[in-house]
Chain A
Amino acid sequence: MTLGVGVGPVGLSPAVVWHVIAGGIAGHPENTVAGIIVWQIRLPRVLLAALVGAALTTAGAVVQVLVRNALADPFLLGVSSGASVGDTAVLLLGVFASLGVWAISVGSIAGAMVAMAAVFAVSRSGRGLAPTHLILCGVVLSALFESVTSFLIFRGNPQATQAVLFWLLGSFGLASWNQLPIPAAALAAAMIYLMAQARTLNALAMGAEPAASLGVDVRRLRRNLFLVTSLMAGVAVAVSGVIGFVGLVVPHIVRLMVGSDHRRVLPTGVLFGASFMVLGDLLARTIVAPQEMPIGVITAFIGAPTLLVLIRRRPYMYGATQ
């Protein structure tokens, strides 16, 4: 974290960073150059990256249990493509223009909610949210939403299109203090619920029928997990765009480190996901400085090879599913 705040176009020593942070917490941020850089620009950015990393990791870990597939991603459920439609509509068509700077957030949250509701409605079958149903409906509806996005881009003007593309790849470049409360509250609420359910998550990881025989109300649990993960992923997309692979790879790495018991996976995931994202953002800012790389590029670059290595190392986990 200190590193994330300290490194940048203007290098700052850890001591300076902590001095400014201490002053800021005490209520009177310094008006020096270092003070403004740390307190106004870098600190909110690092905190936002940490929150988004934690939220995506948690959402990923839960979605993997929900669809009983260790290769699932929180965006599988259509949230990201729905949010993209909302955001593209804001940037290209001027929807919600009256909301000013909030328009993108509102647009993408609205899009995510619509996508979530659609996937939920379509994949509900007689026996609740069946994993295969959920995956198929998520993928199909994602494709549909993506085509809507593509259509909007095709019709839009080239300059706005570049903004859309940048947003689609994810960035923390617009971070500010007033963006933090909503994701922080969403993450806190979700974590409280999930930690309360950690034991039943383990039972659900056994499959729906064994979970039922262990006294778990599978139908209700799945519905709640779906809502919680979609909201977390939706909020994450709203503040930072679509950042892939974090929700897929980080839960994996965490499971390799602490095993599969969700009472350990979830808290470790929050810490690890946050650190991963802060480091990723650090790389995004520094690799091609003074330009900034979209963080989605970084996470995919680190995430994809990591995942391939994992898959090759543990064939018995991926080869023999029913």
Chain B
Amino acid sequence: MSLRIEALSVDIAGRRIVSDISLAAADGQFTALLGPNGSGKSTILKALYRVHRPAAGRVLLDGADLLALPARDAARRVAVVAQETVSEFDFTVREMVMIGRTPHKRAFDGDTEADHAAAEQAIERSGCAHLAQRSFNTLSGGEKQLVLIARALAQGADHLILDEPTNHLDIRNQVQILELIAGLGRVILGGAPASVLTPQAILRAYGADVLVIDHPDSGTPHLIPRRTSPGSQAPRHRPDIPGRRPDIPDIPDTSIPASPKEP
């Protein structure tokens, strides 16, 4: 199991948002993509699940071209937890998780024992069994995130993509989510917010490979090996930015309003 991005470029509305990025996420490993708003994290991840079509480059899943697979087959290999909090429709938690079985189903197929088992297991694994009967819309932000992770687990994919999974969560929920993710043993690529509440220190504590992406046109994201002590391998230094916190040198600064809005 591995996910490799080679020389990926993505254009949105004629503008190059991601330029010539290469990175790899290793087996059983949580790879965190860190960067300020507008650095192209989400765009890279969205290119992996076909929201954006890459202008150049390839995405390799175990050496095979992911984007050449039929959408249903790809969805059985790669599941996504994206930022979504509002649903116009009132699904229960169990129904939400069952929707994760969609790529395994053809027209008119009913739910089988295996589907229910996969959903129950996913609900159990992500610790939201107590929420199963609730309406998704009435959950808190942290609970919603757990349910979305459960849905992705029910999808049965061996690769997981998370787009800012701890966004808008308080520190306790962030830790809970990170613990859950770190223990999944799948190939995981997560766009993590470079927020003050989720410094690389936390990510490293959970055994993540940390890739720092500075700006779309800076090329290849910076790779910080796992479990190094903060500062020992500081990435590209940005002395021109005032207000940087010297004690955590390798966190991209987000106190500065990033110019382009993240798509």
1/0 per residue, CB under 8 A from B, across A302-322: the answer is 000000000000101100111
The listed residue (A196, A200, A317) touching B88 by CB distance below 8 A is A317
1/0 per residue, CB under 8 A from B, across A192-222: the answer is 0001110110110111111011111100000
A133 within 8 A of B: no
Say whether, besides A196-B107, A202-B99, A214 and B75 are in contact (CB < 8 Å): yes
| Residues of chain A lying within 8 A (CB to CB) of residue B138 | 316
Shortest distance between the CB of B243 and any CB in chain A (Å)? 31
Closest to A205 in B: B89
Q: How far is the CA of A65 from the CA of B46 in the complex (A)?
A: 22
B140 within 8 A of A: no
Could you tell me if A206 and B87 are in contact, using CB atoms closer than 8 angstroms?
A: yes
B100 within 8 A of A: yes
Q: How far is the CA of A160 from the CA of B138 in the complex (A)?
A: 53
Could you tell me if A210 and B71 are in contact, using CB atoms closer than 8 angstroms?
A: no
Count B-side interface residues using an 8 Å CB cutoff. Answer: 36
Q: How far is the CA of A215 from the CA of B66 in the complex (A)?
A: 12
| CB within 8 Å of B: which A43-73 residues | 64-65, 68-70
B49 within 8 A of A: yes
| CB within 8 Å of A: which B84-100 residues | 84, 86-92, 95, 99-100
The listed residue (A70, A199, A208, A213) touching B89 by CB distance below 8 A is A70
Could you tell me if A259 and B86 are in contact, using CB atoms closer than 8 angstroms?
A: no
Q: How far is the CA of A240 from the CA of B120 in the complex (A)?
A: 47
1/0 per residue, CB under 8 A from A, across B39-55: the answer is 00000001001110000
Could you tell me if A69 and B88 are in contact, using CB atoms closer than 8 angstroms?
A: yes
Q: How far is the CA of A196 from the CA of B108 in the complex (A)?
A: 5
1/0 per residue, CB under 8 A from A, across B67-90: the answer is 000111111101110101011111
Could you tell me if B72 and A215 are in contact, using CB atoms closer than 8 angstroms?
A: yes
Could you tell me if A210 and B95 are in contact, using CB atoms closer than 8 angstroms?
A: no
| Residues of chain A lying within 8 A (CB to CB) of residue B161 | 213
| Residues of chain B lying within 8 A (CB to CB) of residue A260 | 89-91, 95
Q: How far is the CA of A15 from the CA of B2 in the complex (A)?
A: 72
Centre residue among B73, B76, B107 by max chain A CB count within 10 A: B107
Could you tell me if B75 and A64 are in contact, using CB atoms closer than 8 angstroms?
A: no
Q: How far is the CA of A33 from the CA of B138 in the complex (A)?
A: 58
B166 within 8 A of A: no
Could you tell me if B86 and A321 are in contact, using CB atoms closer than 8 angstroms?
A: yes
Could you tell me if A213 and B49 are in contact, using CB atoms closer than 8 angstroms?
A: yes
| Residues of chain A lying within 8 A (CB to CB) of residue B109 | 199
Could you tell me if B87 and A213 are in contact, using CB atoms closer than 8 angstroms?
A: no
The listed residue (B75, B82, B86, B92) touching A215 by CB distance below 8 A is B75
Could you tell me if B99 and A214 are in contact, using CB atoms closer than 8 angstroms?
A: yes
Could you tell me if A213 and B75 are in contact, using CB atoms closer than 8 angstroms?
A: yes
| Residues of chain A lying within 8 A (CB to CB) of residue B51 | 208-209, 212
| Residues of chain A lying within 8 A (CB to CB) of residue B89 | 64-65, 70, 205, 255, 260
Centre residue among B72, B102, B105, B155 by max chain A CB count within 10 A: B102
Closest to A314 in B: B90
| CB within 8 Å of B: which A179-197 residues | 195-197
Could you tell me if A209 and B90 are in contact, using CB atoms closer than 8 angstroms?
A: no
B137 within 8 A of A: yes
Shortest distance between the CB of B145 and any CB in chain A (Å)? 13
Q: How far is the CA of A206 from the CA of B137 in the complex (A)?
A: 12
| Residues of chain B lying within 8 A (CB to CB) of residue A199 | 99, 102, 105, 109
Centre residue among B76, B82, B88, B92 by max chain A CB count within 10 A: B88
B103 within 8 A of A: yes
Could you tell me if B95 and A203 are in contact, using CB atoms closer than 8 angstroms?
A: no
The listed residue (B49, B70, B72, B107) touching A197 by CB distance below 8 A is B107
Instruction: List B residues at the A interface (Cβ < 8 Å).
Output: 46, 49-51, 70-76, 78-80, 82, 84, 86-92, 95, 99-100, 102-103, 105, 107-109, 137-138, 155, 161
Give me 12 A-to-B residue pairs in the complex whose CB atoms sit less than 8 angstroms apart, sorted by A's number: A195-B108, A199-B105, A206-B87, A206-B99, A207-B87, A209-B46, A213-B82, A215-B102, A255-B90, A259-B95, A260-B89, A260-B90
Which 6 residue pairs spanning A and B have beta carbons closest together?
Answer: A215-B75, A196-B107, A213-B80, A215-B103, A215-B72, A260-B89
